[in-house]
Amino acid sequence: MVITSKDNEQIKHIRKLKEKKYRDQYNEYIIEGIKLIKEAIEENANIKTIVICDNCVKNEEIDPKIMYEIAKYNCIYVEENVFHSITDVQNPQGLLAIMSKEQYRKEINYKEDIIVILDNVQDPGNIGTILRTIDSIGLTQVITSKNSGDVYNPKVVRSTMGAILRVNVIESPNLLETLKELKKHKFEIVATSLQTQNTIYDIDYKKKAIIIGNEANGVSKEVLELADKKVKIPMLGKTESLNAAVATGIITYEYVRQKLKNK
């Protein structure tokens, strides 16, 4: 059976998932495209439904093995005009999946060397790139403040390039209390700040919680006051600050450098 109406109840439900309040209500989010769905299958992620555009998927572009795996899931087929009403992509590949957020743990893993924490980071591109960076260095979690942007926003999901399937996202209802709990587990709180002479090269990256602040205002005052160390990225030019995702990459790859050096 092929769904031909945009007013179909399943289609209306999928459209709702474009809004954060419904993603939170149903504990679901959307991934889209062949690559992401292939990764979700390989990661054994919790796929609830796969939506296939009946007359716009070009089967010759998809590995038959992937189509075989897709067929094992709950699939619904829709006409092209219906698919275009639910896609968030300008040139869709005709495949999207409804994912469950229930697979993600809510507890912090205190065994990792460093934990990246987003303090009111808003830009979807920044958040997605930060998750991708965290994944690239072998970390498995990120903590976000309640007022940070939604990591399950479709733009964020796309920009993670699959990292959303591997990085556990823990939303802190009260960031200050979460930081105090981290301190109890022997983590030092490291905040980025221009008001210090210490640089990211002056600290040892073991048991550190690294705070990445808001794009315009940096780390919040309350968090700065709680920090054990304040560091900055040394810059030789006239620019005083960097994009949040770029800063995260520079700091976390100093952790990688130290880890490789000490092997």
Identify whether residues 56 and 121 lie together within a single domain.
no
The whole-angstrom distance between residue 172's C-alpha and the CA centroid of its chain comes to 15
Q: Is residue 109 part of a domain?
A: no
The verdict on 127 and 10 lying in the same domain is no
Which CATH number goes with the domain that contains 94?
3.30.1330.30
Q: Which amino acid is at 20?
A: K
User: Could you identify the residue written with the tokens 């796969």?
Assistant: 50
Whether residue 77 is found in the same domain as residue 132 = no
**Sole residue written with tokens 């209306």:** 12
Are residues 23 and 99 located together in one domain of the fold? yes
User: For the residues 97-109, what does the mean pLDDT come to?
Assistant: 83
- Residue ending a domain, among 42, 72, 103, is 103
- Distance in angstroms between the alpha carbons of the first and the last residue of the chain: 57
Instruction: Specify whether 86 is located in the same domain as 204.
Output: no
**DSSP helix/strand/coil, 166:** coil
Q: Does residue 108 lie in a domain region?
A: no
Containing domain of residue 173, as a range? 114-261
Residue range 202-213, pLDDT digits in tens: 999 999 999 999
Contacts of 240 (CB under 8 A, 6+ apart): 194
User: pLDDT tens, 139-175?
Assistant: 999 999 999 999 999 999 999 999 999 999 999 999 9
Q: Quick check: 60 pLDDT over 60?
A: no
pLDDT of residue 242: 81
Which residue type is seen at 204?
D
Residues 96 and 148 in one domain: no
Scanning the structure block, which residue is given the tokens 């007359």? Answer: 55
pLDDT digits over 178-199, tens only?
Answer: 999 999 999 999 998 888 899 9
> What is the number of structural domains in the chain?
2
Angle made by CA atoms 118, 41, 76, in degrees to the nearest 5: 105
CA–CA separation, 75 vs 57, rounded Å?
Answer: 14
- Residue at which a domain ends, from 62, 78, 103: 103
Residue 73 CB neighbours (<10 A): 14
If asked whether residues 25 and 98 sit together in one domain, one would say: yes
Say yes or no: 157 and 217 in one domain.
yes
Mean pLDDT of 234-263: 90
Please list the helix, strand and coil fractions of the chain in percent, rounded to the nearest 5, in that order: 40, 20, 40
CA 125, 129, 133: angle at the middle one, nearest 5? 170
